[in-house]
Structure 1
Amino acid sequence: MNEFLAVILIVVIIIIFNNLNNKIRKLEKEISDLHSKIGSPSLQNDEVIKETPDEKIQPQPTPVTYREEVSPNHEKLPPPPQKDWLGPVFDFLKQNILTIVGIFTLVLGIGYFVKYAIDKNWIGETARAGIGFFIGATIILIGHFLRKNYTTFASIITGGGIAVLYFTATIAFREYHLFTQNTAFLITILITAISIILSYYYKSEILIIFSLIGGFSAPLMISTGQSNYLFLFIYLTLLNIGMLAVTFLKHWKSVGWTAYVFTTLYLLFWTSEKPELLSIVFYIISYIIFYIFALYDYIKKNVLSTWDILMLALINFTSIIGLVYTFDELKYEPATIFPIGFALINTILLFREYRKKNAGTSFSVFAGITVSLITIAVALQFKTHLITSVWAIEATLLLFIWKKTGHKIFKTCFHILFPLVIIAQMITWTEYFNAKNLSIILNPVFLTSLVTVFSAIVNLYLLKDVQKDTSANDNSFFEDLITVASYGIIYTALLLEIIYHIQNMHWAAITSVALLFSMYYIFILLLFRKVLHINIGLQIVLIYLFLFLLIINVSITTSSVVTSILTKNLGSSFYLLHLLQWIPFIYIGFKIIPSSDFHKNKISYWALSLALITSVSCELHHAYVLTASRDFAHSFEIKKHFNILYLPIIWTILASILIYTGLKKNIQEYNKIGFALVGIMVLKLYGYDVWQMDNISRISAFIVLGVILLLSSFTFQRLKNIIKNMVDKKDKNEEPTSL
């Protein structure tokens, strides 16, 4: 019953399709007759005919070359915007998605039907394979008859038929064992050859891509698990040579890219599974084939397209990774022969451009690739990690090419590769945890970090103008993020190297050195902020971060250092190293902050004042404890004495300085901070300290604080009078003179 209904449904679908097809043909005939009546030109000209009472304006053929349009005011209009490189792909999918889904669904339907027939034992194994080959050939014939009027549709249909042939051959070999592996491989080669011939005959780029995918997938389809790489790569080399010939004849770049992707995946899998000297031969052969493919337009027309440049970059670096990895695994030397050899090839092309005195795109590309390869050779000579170094340099090369050409695809590739560089570098840094007795600087981990640091510095240099160009756009987010990440890479690389070599010291010393380095790193960035083109927002963030680290260092870390000195875990001279933090703090406070926009928000005054109060109070506290304590146990009594007797005096002096500064510079926030500090000091004094003092200390504290407060009050009153007299005198001088 179900089979009967399926047959009826198929007949109904055929009748409906036939009726629709007749109507479409009738409509096409009517449109053709209408065009012939009105004398319309070919629609391919995409021109509109305008008629006037006196004359007819005949449409002109569209020129191939780009022509600048001129406005009525004789002003040149801007060139058309650069097209998105994914646009043609999406256009093709929008126009042919139903065809693609349809042929895929048809193949699945046929497959399910055959499976149903097998389950019912209607056909044997040989008949199953025969049906598969027959259906595939039938679909190809249908595509053949449709090729004249429906080129793209016919190409997709034919590709579906080729796919059916491939899968039939695979199933016949692997599931039914109808023939040997060699026979199966010859059948797949025959299918590939037929499909390539059909592609060339039909002049269909889509069909040849289907053919190449099938050709490269054939070894996987008939694989038995045994690795015969020599036979495999002889086959792939012949396939790539055929690809190169088709590219030269038809100039189909997508064919070369398809072959490159599959060949690279096969080579890298071979290298990772079983590194052997034979793979080096095929790496070099593939490099030559795809380099010729990338340079085809350059040799013929002396131009490099976007995709050609990208191919040049990728084929160099993927080949370097595979070749150097193979040499390292086989313990051969020197691995640097490959980047140097590739650099020489690019140097020849660079010299060719130099002789023509042409400093255009081609010159920049060959120069960038040559310098990158030489840099990789130097890095590998010092035993840096391969993947991290190559990716870091390749990312910088992509950014450099984007800056020189303006093609956004290189910017997109850089945005994709740069996070991978960070991940690879982080994995490299984990070797610090297990490494023992690494030499200072000249060790593989830090040398790899230096390569990444070098590439990050070059990235920052290349990005310095991008932020200006994109300041008005929303696209600057990634550039800002990359800038911050680059500074983070430099900071982390240097910090981890320092920590590794002082890891045997006391933890308080390690923490203190790490914080001191962090503060000086931020200080250097702020010191050279104009040279580094650090934007205002990042400068403010860095200042806040510096103040935060200063507070943490003086309040927590230095206390640990003092404790370690008193317990004889650190020498007393180590405290002098800690005092170096005051140099950047004083410079930032007096030079950098006044010339920046740090004080745009009122909270900045409180942050700066908190850092000043905490630093002065803690430093005096630590110095007093170190000088007055006999040992660690005695330090508790000294700390208590300082907090009760001297800390209120220090806070009072600081509060007076803040209030004086606020009145002199007319900054209300400093006045508020000063009075708030006085309030805290008074609460502390009368709420806690007074009850902990002896009579002598209590009298001394009250007398000293009273004198300080009175002198401060007198100074404030005098300053207020001076300011008032200055304002009155200014107003009097500005009054108009009576006539």
Structure 2
Amino acid sequence: MLSFIIALVAFIYLVYRINNLERKLASLDVSRISSDQTQTPKDEAVDFSPINLKKTEDLINPAPWLNGSAAPEIPLDARQTKSQGESKDTEFVVGSKVLTAVGLLAVLLGVGFFLRYAFSNDLISESMRVILGGLAGIVSAGIGHFLSKKYPSYGHSLLGAGLGITYLSAYAAYSFYSLIGSFPAFILFAIITAVGSGLAVIYNSKPLMVYSLVGGFIIPLILPLSASPHVLFSFLIVLNAGILVVARFKIWPELAVMSIVGTGSLYIQWLFGPYHSGLFVVTLAYCTVIFGIYFTTSLLNFIFRDRDYKGIDGFLLYSVPIIYFLLNIDLMNDNEGIALFALAIGIFYILISTVIRAGFRDLGELRTFSNAMLMIAMPFIAGATALHFDGFTLTIVWAVEAVAMLLVGYLLNTSGNRILGIILSLITGLHFFASDLDLNMSDLIFNKRSAVILFVLAMYAVFWKIYSVIPREFPDTTEDERTAGRNIGSVGAFIVFFAWITVEAIDFLVDYDLYLPLIWIIGSGFAFGVAFAAKEKTIRYLSYFTLFIAGFWSLIAHFSIDLSRFPSFFNIRTLTSVVFAAAVMYVFWLYKLRRDEMTDEEGGVVSFLIGSANILFLWAVTREIVQFYNARLLFAESREWLSIENTKRVTLSIFWLIYAFIGLGVGIFKRSSFVRYFSIILFAITIFKIFLYDTANLNDISRFVSFISLGVILLISGFAYYKFKDRISQFVKQDGEKT
């Protein structure tokens, strides 16, 4: 140890001599420069020649290649100079910082080996060991202080090493040798931490502050502070207050983060250690005080700091209440306690936001702070309601809260609150589908489930309306947010509506699988009316899709029905096809009425639905004819089978011909090329059926009826084309021009 002190003294003397030599050299340079400046050159006239003007232009525009001209090639010498500079920087980092750190480590290890040898051979007493360690730490810190002005990094490293040695000496005096009690040890640790923090502030050294902070949070792990909650939490309150005061004046974000981590770790250790239910009030009160320190610091930083340094403030503002809540969950006995705790946090932030808005007429940056607190309050209140309520009630409360978040964000122009409202609306919808679609209601429509659905529908309708009226130039609103909010409102309302009518049908209809396609078709027609009235394209497209799915579903569900329960031609299959056709005609009428508001793609979709309606109706009547005659075959004698089968085939052919003929007429008079093409295709299918199928299987009288019907209808159709040739040509020409 004595050799270490002697080496340090010699090192101080050497540095002192070097500094004197440098000062003498600097004074010689100053005297030489002053002697050169005594010979002042004569004033020179300013040359405004083109060459000098060109130089001036180059100064004004030092980077002309940014305007499109070629960038100048960097000379090889310049590149070599740059690479040499980078190598010098690397050399400086290695030579100054790395070598210094390794040197300090080597010295500490050497001292450690010497001390171990001395201790093993009882060369130094316990008291002298502590004294020498303290002296070594003080000397190292003194050298660091002496060098910190000229060599900051080097000096700060020695300061940190000195504080560490002093800290270890105090720890050895308390823990290893029991030379001092816990209170003197606490005083020593506190003094070392305070001195280190003060020097860090004076020298503006963040690493030194980090060393001191780590030492401060180690104190409760060394000393029995946990024996009394008042001692432990008073120490943490003072330590956090000091750290955050330093962070208030120094832009050192790591301090706040480290203090939160350190305090949270010690708090968790307390909860899983000495804590018991009798200390509930004391523990929660002290934790609330620490929470208040961080909250107050966030508020002050938001008021006084520059805008560029609010990243850490944002972290504190949003993370502190969450950490505060999570750390104290175990203190609560049940969900009711947790719900009240979360509700209290939410109400606190709402009250503070209200006080700020009421007390400060010119909010300025406080507007952002106030809005942020409302954003924090909303999730806590939503979580509290989730813990307190369940089932239908929770869905209703969440729906109301989602609308409240959206309206607050709309009125205060804060996108954060609006986005939280969108998220809660999605959660509400998912909860509704997961928990509230109870299929055991006793009343149709007028039941608890319908009441909940009305709240959810109203929630999504409000979201759609708000995002429909928000103008594009509305501040703090992006196009993506407007699109997302409007789509969530429209799609959510559409899905909830169809879920409602579906579960009501399943709950109260015996053969709901037969009636659901019809219910969906009617629902799609209603949705079309709402979509056209609201000018909402998303709902229109969803209605197109749902209407088509309902028609396709009808093909599967109504392929074969029990004619013993339903009369032929007057049953659910025919009714569904007729209602589907009526719904498509309704859509077509609305499309014609609002054609200027529709997209080009919608015209093709409407035409596709018209074709689907024709196919569905044609299929439904065909199935009725087939099932009608097949039912007669079941009760007929064998000699009647052929006659019934021939009649069925002829009836099908005549029905198809009449349907194609009517379609052709409608296509001509309504100027619909799609309907005309559909009728011609149906004519072709019927012709093939009569010539290839009916001719081979029918008797003569049936063939006569089929061919006569085919001939008459085709002749009339051909005459119609001759009669309205000019009109049809005009339609085709207009369609070509539109295309």
Output the TM-score relative to the length of structure 2: 0.60
Structure 2 residue 271 is matched with structure 1 residue 223: yes
**Would the alpha carbon gap of residues 286 and 720 (structure 1) be closer, same or farther in structure 2, given more than 3 Å must change?**
closer
AA aligned opposite 2:198: H
CA contact (8 A) 1:565 1:571 kept: no
Contact 2:465-2:486 within 8 A present in 1 as well: no
Contact 1:280–1:323, Cα closer than 8 Å, also in 2: yes
Report which stretch shifted further, 210-219 or 690-699: 210-219
Per-residue CA deviation, residues 85-113 of structure 1 (Å, 9 max, x unaligned), is xxxxxxxxxxxxxxxxx9xxx9xx99xx9
8 Å CA contact 1:140, 1:158 repeated in 2: no
Pair 1:232 & 2:283 matched: yes
CA contact (8 A) 1:247 1:256 kept: yes
Instruction: Give the letter aligned to residue 284 of structure 2.
Output: F
Please name the residue that 2:241 is paired with: 196
Report how far residue 519 of structure 1 moved.
Answer: 1.9
* Matched residue type, 2:429: I
Q: Which residue of 2 aligns with 1:559?
A: 559
**Whole-Å separation in 1 of the counterparts to 2:655 and 2:569:** 28
Residue in 1 that maps onto 2:516? 514
Comparing 698-707 with 676-685, which one deviates more in the overlay?
Answer: 676-685
1:338 paired residue number: none
Matched, 1:162 2:166: no
8 A Cα contact 2:403 2:463, kept in partner: yes
Aligned-residue offset at 1:607: 1.7
Q: Is the counterpart of residue 502 in structure 1 residue 508 in structure 2?
A: yes
Instruction: Output the aligned Cα RMSD.
Output: 5.3
- One-letter identity of the residue aligned with 2:241: I
Say if 2:544 is the partner of 1:543.
Answer: yes
Structure 2 counterpart SS, 1:305: helix
Is the contact made by 1:567 and 1:631 (CA closer than 8 Å) also made in structure 2? Answer: no
Q: Is the 8 A contact 2:247 2:256 kept in 1?
A: no
Partner Cα separation in structure 2 for residue 476 and residue 288 of structure 1? 29
* CA distance 1:268–1:587, change in 2 (3 Å): farther
Structure 1 counterpart of 2:428? 421
Distance 1:420 1:687 in 2: 61
Cα distance between partner residues in 1 of 2:290 and 2:239: 13
How far is the alpha carbon of 1:456 from its aligned partner?
A: 0.6
> For the residues of structure 2 that align with 1:293 and 1:400, how far apart are their CA atoms?
19
Q: What SS is found at the alignment partner of 1:688?
A: helix
Partner of 2:62: none
Q: Could you tell me which of 369, 394, 399 is aligned with 2:406?
A: 399
Change in Cα spacing, 1:293 to 1:613, as seen in structure 2 (3 Å) is: closer
CA distance in 1, matches of 2:568, 2:465: 42
In 2: Cα distance, 1:478 partner to 1:547 partner: 26
- Structure 2 residue aligned with 1:451: 455
Amino acid at match of 2:199: F
**Deviation for aligned residue 1:720:** 1.0
Aligned counterparts, 1:566-645, within 5 A: 566=564, 578=576, 579-593=578-592, 595-596=594-595, 597=598, 603-604=604-605, 607-624=608-625, 644-645=649-650
Q: Please give the per-residue CA displacement for 1:373-423, whole angstroms capped at 9, x wherever unaligned.
A: xxxxxxx9xx7242x434433332333233333333234434444433333
Unaligned 5+ runs, structure 2: 1-7, 9-14, 31-47, 49-96, 121-167, 177-184, 304-312, 733-739
Distance change >3 Å, CA 129–CA 499, structure 1 → 2: farther
Question: What is the SS of the residue equivalent to 2:335?
Answer: coil
Paired residue type of 2:359: K
Matching residue's letter, 1:262: I
Q: Report what 1:69 is aligned to.
A: none
Structure 1 residue 140, shift from structure 2 partner: 7.1
Listed as ranges, the gaps of 5+ residues in structure 1 are 1-10, 12-17, 34-52, 54-101, 173-177, 329-379, 728-739
- Asked if the contact 1:393–1:455 (Cα under 8 Å) also holds between the matched residues in 2, the reply is yes
Answer yes or no: is 1:147 the counterpart of 2:201. yes
d(CA) in 2 for partners of 1:398, 1:317: 10
Is the Cα–Cα contact under 8 Å of residues 657 and 713 in structure 2 kept in the other structure?
yes
* 3-state SS of paired residue (1:203): helix
Distance 1:584 1:652, change over 3 A: same
* Cα distance change, pair 319–274 in 1 and its aligned pair in 2 (3 A): same
Looking at secondary structure, tell me which structure has more helix per residue: 2
Q: Residue 526 of structure 1: CA displacement?
A: 1.8
Deviations 1:421-479 (A, max 9, x none): 333233224x63xx645554565554433322221111111122358779995665524
Q: Quickly say closer, same or farther: Cα 1:657–1:543, change in 2 above 3 A.
A: farther
Q: Aligned residue for 2:54?
A: none
Q: 1:609 to 1:640 in 2, by over 3 A?
A: farther
Q: In the aligned structure 2, how far is the partner of 1:570 from the partner of 1:167?
A: 89
**1:213–1:440 Cα change, 3 Å:** farther
Q: 1:260 aligns with which of 311, 321, 326?
A: 321
> 1:287 touches 1:315 (CA, 8 Å); kept in 2?
yes
The equivalences for 1:162-561 within 5 A come to: 162-163=213-214, 165-166=216-217, 169=220, 179=224, 181-183=226-228, 186-187=231-232, 189-200=234-245, 203-204=248-249, 206=253, 207=255, 210-212=258-260, 214-224=262-272, 228=277, 229-243=280-294, 257-266=318-327, 274-275=334-335, 282=341, 286=345, 289-302=348-361, 303=363, 305-312=367-374, 314-315=376-377, 318-319=380-381, 321-322=383-384, 325-326=387-388, 384-386=392-394, 388-429=395-436, 432=438, 436=440, 439-441=443-445, 445-466=449-470, 477-479=483-485, 481-502=487-508, 505-506=510-511, 510-535=512-537, 539-540=540-541, 542-543=543-544, 545-553=546-554, 555-560=555-560
Change (3 A) 1:564 1:713: same
Shift, 1:688, TM fit: 3.0
Cα gap change, 1:594 to 1:319, in 2 (>3 Å)? closer
Larger Rg: 2
Q: 1:673 to 1:441 in 2, by over 3 A?
A: closer
The number of residues matched between the two structures is: 546
Q: Distance in 1 between matches of 2:335 and 2:440?
A: 29
Native 8 Å contact 2:441 2:447 kept in 1: no
Whether the aligned pair in 2 keeps the contact of 1:287 and 1:319 (CA below 8 Å) is yes
Write the distance in 2 (CA, Å) between the matches of 1:690 and 1:128.
117
Measure the CA separation in 2 of the matches of 1:128 and 1:656.
111
Query: Per-residue deviation at 1:256?
Result: 5.3
Task: Report if aligned partners of 1:243, 1:259 keep a CA contact under 8 Å in 2.
Answer: yes
Shift of 1:139: 7.7
Contact 2:220 2:232 in 1 (8 A): yes
Equivalent residue number for residue 710 of structure 1: 715
Query: For the Cα contact (< 8 Å) 1:313–1:394, is it kept in 2?
Result: no
